[in-house]
Amino acid sequence: MDSKAAGAADRATHESLLMRTNWTDTLWSLRISRPADFRFEPGHYARLGLEQPDGSVLWRPYSIVSAPDDAALEFLVVRVAGGPFTQQLDQLAIGQPVLLDPAAYGFFIARQLLPGGTLWMLATGTGLGPYVSLLRTPGALHAFARVILVHSVRHRDDLAYRTEIEQAVASAPQGLTYIPVVTRDTVPGLPSARIPALIADGSLQDMAGVALTPDSSRVMVCGHPDFTADMRRLLGERGFTPCRRASPGSMLFEKYW
Ligand SMILES: NC(=O)c1ccc[n+]([C@@H]2O[C@H](COP(=O)([O-])OP(=O)(O)OC[C@H]3O[C@@H](n4cnc5c(N)ncnc54)[C@H](OP(=O)(O)O)[C@@H]3O)[C@@H](O)[C@H]2O)c1
């Protein structure tokens, strides 16, 4: 157990599963009870714990999908093949216990970016989660003139929260653009190449109708570790600057697993 997890076990609060939404057989959202004093910002992650038969606790970090004013905490979960935590989580029935580390963690916070211009929110898979939290939080994106949300998934059914996002677009038609990308099915009207390739050949910028330059754009990148590495390289070559604790930048990353 790492030191963070050891501390978490001491401080953990006992929560319970309130609700589950299945997107596919292996992709689902969970809502758990939330302690009144649990504080977070969109982009933070929480640590969930599951008790094991030997009395130990298995901990995993999950980005928070819900907004800070939501009475519950919501998470987007993909079942990891052979992964003990998500297999156990998959079996959890409504009302059963989940441990919660009472602190929220992370630096994937939009205000770390320079304000203004177009915000590109790029996600693969469950990396969508922090952006849903941002969209659900009134005022969280007011620093930006336009927002482009790009979500890349393997199959059409993996487009979690699609209806909710499309409703958000409809209520903010000028300010928010949603571009789903499906890489392993052919879906008429949707791109099927990976995000870095779509940026490299300019087709993502054409779809959004806006350029992707360090002067005019801020970029958040969340998801598969190879994706975040590829995007760091691509954006760095184009002159984007990373966010530092003391100085805002034009690109910000959250790497999963
Ligand atoms: N250990 C963990 O904590 C953890 C967490 C989440 C997921 N996972 C693993 O990932 C598996 C699948 O998750 P998922 O369905 O979300 O799939 P995924 O493999 O992350 O794919 C989601 C999207 O990302 C794209 N992608 C993958 N690598 C990329 C790269 N280097 N650059 C750009 N785009 C890239 C995929 O394109 P392609 O179709 O072209 O690959 C797909 O469109 C899970 O079953 C699990 O094993 C593990």
- 256 falls in which pLDDT band (50, 70, 90)? confident
Tell me the domain boundaries of the chain: 3-100, 110-255
Q: Is the pLDDT of residue 4 over 70?
A: no
Among protein residues, the one with the nearest Cα to ligand 1's atom 11 is 80
Q: Whole-number mean pLDDT of the chain? A: 95
Over residues 106-120, mean pLDDT: 96
User: How far is ligand 1, taken at its centre, from the CA of residue 192, in Å?
Assistant: 14
Over residues 51-58, mean pLDDT: 95
User: How far is ligand 1, taken at its centre, from the CA of residue 227, in Å?
Assistant: 9
Provide the residue type at 226 as one letter: D
User: How far is ligand 1, taken at its centre, from the CA of residue 28, in Å?
Assistant: 15
Over residues 174-201, mean pLDDT: 96
Contacts of 227 (CB under 8 A, 6+ apart): 124, 127, 152, 194, 195, 196, 221
Name which of 63, 45, 56 is nearest 103 in CA terms: 45
Q: Is the pLDDT of residue 6 over 60?
A: no
Among protein residues, the one with the nearest Cα to ligand 1's atom 3 is 257
- 1 falls in which pLDDT band (50, 70, 90)? very low
Among protein residues, the one with the nearest Cα to ligand 1's atom 9 is 80
Contacts of 232 (CB under 8 A, 6+ apart): 221, 242, 251, 253
Q: For the segment 207-221, what is each residue's pLDDT rounded down to a tens digit?
A: 999 999 999 999 999
Contacts of 160 (CB under 8 A, 6+ apart): 23, 27, 29, 76, 126, 128
CATH fold of the domain at 3-100: Elongation Factor Tu (Ef-tu); domain 3 (2.40.30)
Look up residue 226 and give its two tokens. Answer: 């190879």
Among protein residues, the one with the nearest Cα to ligand 1's atom 4 is 257
From first CA to last CA, the distance across the chain in angstroms is 16
Q: For the segment 19-35, what is each residue's pLDDT rounded down to a tens digit?
A: 999 999 999 999 999 99
Predicted TM-score (pTM) of the model is 0.95
Please determine whether the domains at 3-100 and 110-255 fall in the same fold group of CATH.
no
Helix axes 129-136, 162-171, angle to 10 degrees: 40
Cα 26–Cα 28–Cα 31 angle in degrees, nearest 5: 150
Contacts of 206 (CB under 8 A, 6+ apart): none
Name which of 154, 160, 159, 179 is nearest 169 in CA terms: 179
Q: Is residue 80 in contact with ligand 1, taking CB distance under 6 Å?
A: yes
Q: For the segment 245-255, what is each residue's pLDDT rounded down to a tens digit?
A: 889 999 999 98
Give SS3 for 214. Answer: coil
Look-up of token digits 């030997």 = 54
From the candidate CATH numbers 3.90.1150.10, 3.10.20.30, 3.40.50.80, 3.40.50.2000, the one assigned to the domain spanning 110-255 = 3.40.50.80
